[in-house]
Amino acid sequence: VSTQSTGGSRDNTARVWEQAPQCDANTPAANRWTVICQLTGHTGFVNAVASLKTSDEFPMGLIVTGGQDKVINVYCTGVSEPIRQLLGHSEGVTCLSTGWHGTILSGSADCTVRVWENMELKEVLKGHSAPVWDEAIYPGTET
């Protein structure tokens, strides 16, 4: 069970909460979770949040955020400034999903889904005539 959670907001930030150890159902909610990091770097609403699993290079994993500012920010867990910005969408990023091998899918109001591998743009998927609100990576389909 994860003891951390991340949420994006219209205040242009994302926040990482950590659950206090040894909490039970009788512990008041305000005492169970504490903000441990505020993720900055967006100039518009943070519309989407996802996480990338741990790796040798990033043993605590990575947090990925997508914003109304058309930017995807990548953060090391516990660090408030992005280590990388993924650029390419011409409208706000509306959704994100991640896969086992570091693949990131990003959907946007520009009607596209972009496929990122190793934090580099690999494919632009076109065909929608309206903003993309969600996308998914199906198990077993990553290369």
- Residue 1 binned pLDDT confidence (cut-offs 50, 70, 90): low
The SS3 of residue 122 is strand
* Other CB atoms within 10 A of residue 23 CB: 14
More confident residue, 48 or 57: 48
Residue length of the chain: 143
Q: Are 62 and 33 in contact (CB under 8 A)?
A: no
Q: What is the pTM of this model?
A: 0.90
CA atoms within 13 A on the CB side of 122: 12
Q: Above pLDDT 90, what percent of the chain?
A: 75
Q: Are 117 and 100 in contact (CB under 8 A)?
A: no
Give the mean model confidence (pLDDT) for residues 63-84.
Answer: 97
pLDDT at 32: 82
Whether residue 106 is predicted with pLDDT greater than 70 in this model: the reply is: yes
Whether residue 87 is predicted with pLDDT greater than 70 in this model: the reply is: yes
* Other CB atoms within 10 A of residue 94 CB: 21
